[in-house]
Structure 1
């Protein structure tokens, strides 16, 4: 409002407050955090824990099943001990396997050396046999045996029982 005698001052514009887009808020509307807190309070009143996923039993926050929880913890500890023993056994077996593989490699190397030596010996024997067969006047004469009738048995110095 201005004075009626004032000709210098401009008329004040009545500014309208613009409304926000969308539906206007109700007076008692809750925020998302307030709604979530109310939901959790309702679940807690019903005895349902919000820490567990649906379909998974909540063993940590149920006080009625403390004995079951202790049993499960004991079972877990025994399983951990058993697993540690199994790992130790695996480590021992791996060490033994490494030693056996080393021994097998050494044995294979020995077998190869013996085979090479044996093949050389076989070749030398074959050469000697060829040389002996090639000589007409060999050290060992060819013996022709004749059939001796049984009447001439026993030879002197042999037992007479036959």
Structure 2
């Protein structure tokens, strides 16, 4: 879950009359669900529902949806603009790490359209991925969830 979206969801609680104490953690959904089951957490905000195979009893509530943006350094973006998404074939690509449902969805989308970019990095921090994508090598693509 991108930090900017988590913040927007939690921010209204900061202005409640009774103060609220936040402890925000990042981990795999299965680890967080384990902590929830042990009453170490009160709430999980994730980018997908509780996986059925985990056998955890819980409630899912869709809070919203967001899109995915593809970014490249300007010179590279210019060359690919007319041939997107086919231009992604065999190109270096940065993706969110496997803690994110976005990674699974991107890999399925690549397969569906036979794109097969070279995954050269996986990141659980969107800001770090963006920094690598904007680096002087100018050959990386970034994909991340954004809130519109």
TM-score range, shorter chain: under 0.3
Greater helix fraction, Structure 1 or Structure 2 = 1
Instruction: Provide TM-score, normalisation by structure 1.
Output: 0.16
TM-score scaled to structure 2, two decimals? Answer: 0.17
Structure with greater contact order relative to length (CA < 8 Å, sep ≥ 6): 2
Largest Rg, 1 or 2: 1
